[in-house]
Amino acid sequence: MLTAKTKVSEILEENHIVLEENEVVTPGMDSEITDKKTIIISVRGEAPAEIATNVQTEIKAEDVKEEYSNIKEEIVVEIVEIPFATVTKDVSNGSASTRNAIIQQGKNGERKVTYKVTYKDDIEISREELSSEIIKEPVDKIVQVQTKSLITARSSFSREIGTSGKSGVYKVTAYCACMQCCGKTNGITASGTHATANRTIAAPKTFAFGTKVVINGVTYTVEDRGGAIQGNRIDIYMNSHSEALQWGVRYLEVEVLD
Protein backbone atom coordinates (compact mmCIF):
# COMPACT_ATOMS: atom_id res chain seq x y z
CA MET A 1 0.00 0.00 0.00
CA LEU A 2 1.07 3.59 -0.55
CA THR A 3 0.63 5.92 2.41
CA ALA A 4 2.03 9.03 4.04
CA LYS A 5 1.22 7.69 7.50
CA THR A 6 3.91 6.16 9.74
CA LYS A 7 1.94 4.94 12.77
CA VAL A 8 0.64 1.38 12.49
CA SER A 9 -2.87 2.16 13.82
CA GLU A 10 -3.25 5.09 11.41
CA ILE A 11 -2.15 2.98 8.43
CA LEU A 12 -4.66 0.25 9.25
CA GLU A 13 -7.46 2.77 9.77
CA GLU A 14 -6.66 4.55 6.52
CA ASN A 15 -6.97 1.27 4.63
CA HIS A 16 -10.08 0.11 6.54
CA ILE A 17 -8.30 -2.88 8.07
CA VAL A 18 -9.91 -4.07 11.31
CA LEU A 19 -8.27 -6.72 13.54
CA GLU A 20 -10.34 -9.70 14.65
CA GLU A 21 -10.38 -10.55 18.37
CA ASN A 22 -7.91 -13.41 17.84
CA GLU A 23 -5.47 -11.39 15.74
CA VAL A 24 -2.39 -9.37 16.65
CA VAL A 25 -0.32 -6.93 14.64
CA THR A 26 3.47 -6.58 14.45
CA PRO A 27 4.79 -3.93 15.11
CA GLY A 28 2.19 -2.89 17.77
CA MET A 29 -0.65 -0.47 17.04
CA ASP A 30 1.17 2.49 18.61
CA SER A 31 4.48 1.74 16.89
CA GLU A 32 6.04 3.57 13.98
CA ILE A 33 6.85 1.38 10.99
CA THR A 34 10.51 0.46 10.59
CA ASP A 35 12.71 0.77 7.57
CA LYS A 36 11.43 -2.69 6.55
CA LYS A 37 8.10 -1.01 5.79
CA THR A 38 6.29 -4.20 6.81
CA ILE A 39 3.19 -4.78 8.96
CA ILE A 40 2.29 -8.38 9.86
CA ILE A 41 -1.16 -9.48 11.05
CA SER A 42 -1.24 -12.97 12.55
CA VAL A 43 -3.49 -15.20 14.65
CA ARG A 44 -2.84 -14.78 18.38
CA GLY A 45 -0.56 -17.55 19.71
CA GLU A 46 0.82 -18.50 16.31
CA ALA A 47 4.16 -17.47 14.89
CA PRO A 48 3.96 -14.66 12.32
CA ALA A 49 4.25 -15.82 8.75
CA GLU A 50 7.65 -15.52 7.11
CA ILE A 51 8.01 -12.55 4.82
CA ALA A 52 9.67 -13.18 1.51
CA THR A 53 13.06 -11.52 1.38
CA ASN A 54 12.93 -10.81 -2.31
CA VAL A 55 9.86 -8.58 -2.18
CA GLN A 56 10.54 -5.28 -3.91
CA THR A 57 9.88 -2.50 -1.34
CA GLU A 58 11.30 0.41 -3.27
CA ILE A 59 8.79 3.13 -4.10
CA LYS A 60 9.51 4.97 -7.30
CA ALA A 61 8.87 8.67 -7.74
CA GLU A 62 6.85 7.91 -10.87
CA ASP A 63 4.50 5.69 -8.83
CA VAL A 64 3.93 8.42 -6.26
CA LYS A 65 3.30 10.98 -8.96
CA GLU A 66 0.81 8.67 -10.68
CA GLU A 67 -0.96 7.88 -7.38
CA TYR A 68 -1.56 11.53 -6.45
CA SER A 69 -1.81 13.18 -9.86
CA ASN A 70 -5.61 12.92 -10.02
CA ILE A 71 -6.35 13.96 -6.41
CA LYS A 72 -7.75 17.41 -5.63
CA GLU A 73 -9.30 19.11 -2.61
CA GLU A 74 -12.12 21.61 -2.58
CA ILE A 75 -13.89 23.73 0.08
CA VAL A 76 -17.64 23.22 -0.19
CA VAL A 77 -20.33 25.20 1.68
CA GLU A 78 -23.76 23.62 2.01
CA ILE A 79 -27.04 24.76 3.61
CA VAL A 80 -28.43 21.89 5.70
CA GLU A 81 -32.03 21.85 6.93
CA ILE A 82 -32.66 21.59 10.69
CA PRO A 83 -35.98 19.75 11.34
CA PHE A 84 -38.42 21.47 13.72
CA ALA A 85 -39.58 19.78 16.93
CA THR A 86 -43.20 19.17 17.95
CA VAL A 87 -44.21 20.29 21.45
CA THR A 88 -47.48 19.04 22.96
CA LYS A 89 -49.17 20.98 25.77
CA ASP A 90 -52.07 19.39 27.64
CA VAL A 91 -54.53 21.98 28.98
CA SER A 92 -57.52 19.62 29.16
CA ASN A 93 -57.32 19.28 32.97
CA GLY A 94 -57.84 15.53 32.72
CA SER A 95 -60.99 15.72 30.61
CA ALA A 96 -62.04 12.47 28.92
CA SER A 97 -63.18 14.37 25.82
CA THR A 98 -60.29 16.19 24.16
CA ARG A 99 -59.10 17.41 20.80
CA ASN A 100 -55.75 18.54 19.43
CA ALA A 101 -55.38 22.10 18.18
CA ILE A 102 -52.31 23.38 16.34
CA ILE A 103 -51.37 26.64 18.06
CA GLN A 104 -48.19 27.27 16.09
CA GLN A 105 -47.00 25.77 12.83
CA GLY A 106 -43.46 24.40 12.84
CA LYS A 107 -40.74 25.73 10.54
CA ASN A 108 -37.43 24.08 9.71
CA GLY A 109 -34.23 25.95 10.44
CA GLU A 110 -31.03 26.17 8.40
CA ARG A 111 -27.40 25.44 9.17
CA LYS A 112 -24.41 26.47 7.04
CA VAL A 113 -21.77 23.73 6.98
CA THR A 114 -18.29 24.07 5.47
CA TYR A 115 -16.56 20.88 4.28
CA LYS A 116 -13.17 20.00 2.86
CA VAL A 117 -13.91 17.48 0.13
CA THR A 118 -11.25 15.29 -1.48
CA TYR A 119 -11.73 13.92 -5.00
CA LYS A 120 -9.80 11.30 -6.97
CA ASP A 121 -10.55 11.14 -10.66
CA ASP A 122 -13.50 13.48 -9.93
CA ILE A 123 -15.00 10.97 -7.50
CA GLU A 124 -15.47 12.08 -3.88
CA ILE A 125 -13.36 9.87 -1.59
CA SER A 126 -13.52 11.82 1.69
CA ARG A 127 -15.37 14.70 3.35
CA GLU A 128 -14.24 16.56 6.47
CA GLU A 129 -16.47 19.07 8.32
CA LEU A 130 -14.54 22.27 9.02
CA SER A 131 -17.22 24.48 10.57
CA SER A 132 -20.94 24.71 11.24
CA GLU A 133 -23.14 27.77 11.84
CA ILE A 134 -26.88 28.06 12.47
CA ILE A 135 -28.25 30.80 10.23
CA LYS A 136 -31.96 30.28 10.97
CA GLU A 137 -33.32 28.74 14.17
CA PRO A 138 -36.11 26.17 13.75
CA VAL A 139 -39.57 27.07 15.10
CA ASP A 140 -41.33 24.46 17.22
CA LYS A 141 -44.71 23.14 16.18
CA ILE A 142 -47.03 23.57 19.19
CA VAL A 143 -49.98 21.22 19.60
CA GLN A 144 -52.44 21.91 22.42
CA VAL A 145 -54.63 19.16 23.88
CA GLN A 146 -57.89 20.92 24.73
CA THR A 147 -61.22 19.98 26.25
CA LYS A 148 -63.71 19.31 23.49
CA SER A 149 -66.56 21.76 24.09
CA LEU A 150 -70.09 20.52 23.71
CA ILE A 151 -71.79 22.33 20.83
CA THR A 152 -75.40 23.11 21.64
CA ALA A 153 -78.28 23.85 19.31
CA ARG A 154 -78.45 27.51 20.37
CA SER A 155 -78.82 29.73 17.34
CA SER A 156 -76.44 32.22 18.92
CA PHE A 157 -73.54 29.73 18.93
CA SER A 158 -71.07 30.43 16.14
CA ARG A 159 -67.90 28.61 15.09
CA GLU A 160 -66.31 31.87 14.02
CA ILE A 161 -62.73 32.25 15.20
CA GLY A 162 -61.48 35.58 16.48
CA THR A 163 -64.82 37.44 16.27
CA SER A 164 -65.13 39.29 19.56
CA GLY A 165 -68.50 39.01 21.27
CA LYS A 166 -69.42 35.72 19.63
CA SER A 167 -68.76 32.07 20.40
CA GLY A 168 -65.56 30.70 18.94
CA VAL A 169 -61.89 30.16 19.71
CA TYR A 170 -60.31 32.81 21.93
CA LYS A 171 -56.88 33.52 23.35
CA VAL A 172 -57.50 32.89 27.07
CA THR A 173 -55.09 34.25 29.68
CA ALA A 174 -55.34 34.67 33.46
CA TYR A 175 -54.88 37.41 36.08
CA CYS A 176 -55.21 38.04 39.81
CA ALA A 177 -55.80 41.02 42.14
CA CYS A 178 -52.16 42.11 42.38
CA MET A 179 -50.26 45.26 41.40
CA GLN A 180 -48.51 43.41 38.57
CA CYS A 181 -51.74 42.22 36.99
CA CYS A 182 -54.13 45.08 37.81
CA GLY A 183 -52.14 47.97 39.24
CA LYS A 184 -54.26 47.63 42.39
CA THR A 185 -54.98 45.04 45.07
CA ASN A 186 -58.58 45.63 46.19
CA GLY A 187 -60.07 43.07 43.77
CA ILE A 188 -62.87 45.41 42.68
CA THR A 189 -63.82 44.84 39.04
CA ALA A 190 -64.73 47.42 36.41
CA SER A 191 -68.41 46.51 36.93
CA GLY A 192 -68.15 47.14 40.69
CA THR A 193 -68.27 43.50 41.81
CA HIS A 194 -65.59 41.75 43.83
CA ALA A 195 -63.53 39.50 41.57
CA THR A 196 -64.11 35.83 42.34
CA ALA A 197 -62.29 32.75 41.03
CA ASN A 198 -64.33 30.39 38.79
CA ARG A 199 -66.78 33.25 38.11
CA THR A 200 -65.12 36.51 37.06
CA ILE A 201 -63.60 37.12 33.64
CA ALA A 202 -62.38 40.25 31.91
CA ALA A 203 -63.60 40.60 28.32
CA PRO A 204 -63.60 43.26 25.56
CA LYS A 205 -66.35 45.92 25.45
CA THR A 206 -68.16 43.83 22.82
CA PHE A 207 -69.26 41.68 25.80
CA ALA A 208 -71.80 43.41 28.05
CA PHE A 209 -71.29 43.12 31.81
CA GLY A 210 -73.19 40.13 33.08
CA THR A 211 -72.75 38.08 29.90
CA LYS A 212 -72.36 34.37 30.66
CA VAL A 213 -69.76 32.33 28.79
CA VAL A 214 -68.67 28.69 29.07
CA ILE A 215 -64.94 27.86 28.99
CA ASN A 216 -63.69 24.31 29.58
CA GLY A 217 -67.09 23.37 30.99
CA VAL A 218 -67.11 26.22 33.57
CA THR A 219 -69.64 29.07 33.32
CA TYR A 220 -68.10 32.51 33.87
CA THR A 221 -69.57 36.02 34.07
CA VAL A 222 -68.14 39.06 32.31
CA GLU A 223 -67.46 41.48 35.19
CA ASP A 224 -64.17 43.16 34.31
CA ARG A 225 -62.26 44.97 31.58
CA GLY A 226 -58.57 45.45 30.85
CA GLY A 227 -56.43 47.62 28.62
CA ALA A 228 -54.88 44.57 26.93
CA ILE A 229 -58.18 42.64 26.77
CA GLN A 230 -59.28 43.42 23.24
CA GLY A 231 -60.34 41.54 20.13
CA ASN A 232 -60.53 37.78 20.66
CA ARG A 233 -58.94 37.72 24.12
CA ILE A 234 -60.43 36.82 27.52
CA ASP A 235 -58.78 37.02 30.96
CA ILE A 236 -59.88 34.59 33.70
CA TYR A 237 -59.57 35.69 37.33
CA MET A 238 -57.42 33.48 39.60
CA ASN A 239 -56.91 33.51 43.38
CA SER A 240 -53.13 33.97 43.14
CA HIS A 241 -50.44 35.23 40.80
CA SER A 242 -48.78 31.80 40.71
CA GLU A 243 -52.04 30.25 39.47
CA ALA A 244 -52.28 32.91 36.76
CA LEU A 245 -48.70 32.23 35.64
CA GLN A 246 -49.31 28.48 35.64
CA TRP A 247 -52.33 28.96 33.38
CA GLY A 248 -50.19 30.75 30.80
CA VAL A 249 -51.74 31.28 27.36
CA ARG A 250 -54.32 28.89 25.98
CA TYR A 251 -56.49 28.91 22.88
CA LEU A 252 -59.91 27.57 23.85
CA GLU A 253 -63.45 27.39 22.56
CA VAL A 254 -65.69 29.94 24.26
CA GLU A 255 -69.47 29.52 24.18
CA VAL A 256 -71.45 32.70 24.68
CA LEU A 257 -74.79 31.91 26.35
CA ASP A 258 -78.06 33.67 25.52
- pLDDT tens per residue, range 18-74: 888 888 888 888 888 876 678 888 887 766 555 544 445 555 556 555 555 678 899
pLDDT at residue 80, as a whole number: 92
93 domain residue, yes or no: no
pTM: 0.41
2 domain residue, yes or no: no
Residue 144 has pLDDT above 90, yes or no: no
Using a pLDDT cut of 70, give the percent of the chain over it: 82
103 domain residue, yes or no: yes
pLDDT at residue 38, as a whole number: 85
C-alpha dihedral sign at 98, 99, 101, 106: positive
Residue bearing the bigger pLDDT, 162 or 184: 184
| Shared domain check, 52 and 106 | no
CA distance 220 to 1: 83
| Shared domain check, 190 and 158 | yes
Q: How far is CA 152 from CA 161, 167, 258, in A?
A: 17, 11, 12
| Shared domain check, 75 and 63 | no
| Shared domain check, 167 and 139 | no
pLDDT at residue 149, as a whole number: 55
| Shared domain check, 162 and 131 | no
CA distance 209 to 227: 16
* Spatial CB neighbours of 111, under 8 Å, sequence gap ≥ 6: 79, 80, 81, 82, 132, 133, 134, 135
| Shared domain check, 195 and 165 | yes
92 domain residue, yes or no: no
Maximum C-alpha span of the chain = 109
Residue 121 has pLDDT above 60, yes or no: yes
With bands split at pLDDT 50, 70 and 90, how would you rate the model's confidence at 177? Answer: very high
pLDDT at residue 159, as a whole number: 40
160 domain residue, yes or no: yes
3 domain residue, yes or no: no
What average pLDDT does the segment 99-108 reach? 84
| Shared domain check, 77 and 64 | no
| Shared domain check, 233 and 161 | yes
With bands split at pLDDT 50, 70 and 90, how would you rate the model's confidence at 210? Answer: very high
Q: What is the CATH number of the domain that holds 193?
A: 2.40.40.10
| Shared domain check, 251 and 155 | yes
Residue bearing the bigger pLDDT, 177 or 21: 177
| Shared domain check, 179 and 115 | no
Residue bearing the bigger pLDDT, 226 or 160: 226
| Shared domain check, 234 and 191 | yes
pLDDT at residue 155, as a whole number: 35
Q: How many domains does the chain have?
A: 3
What average pLDDT does the segment 186-196 reach? 93
Phi, psi of 92 (to 5 degrees): -85, -5
pLDDT at residue 228, as a whole number: 86
124 domain residue, yes or no: yes
Q: Which domain holds residue 82?
A: 71-87+98-143
| Shared domain check, 82 and 35 | no
pLDDT at residue 66, as a whole number: 58
12 domain residue, yes or no: yes
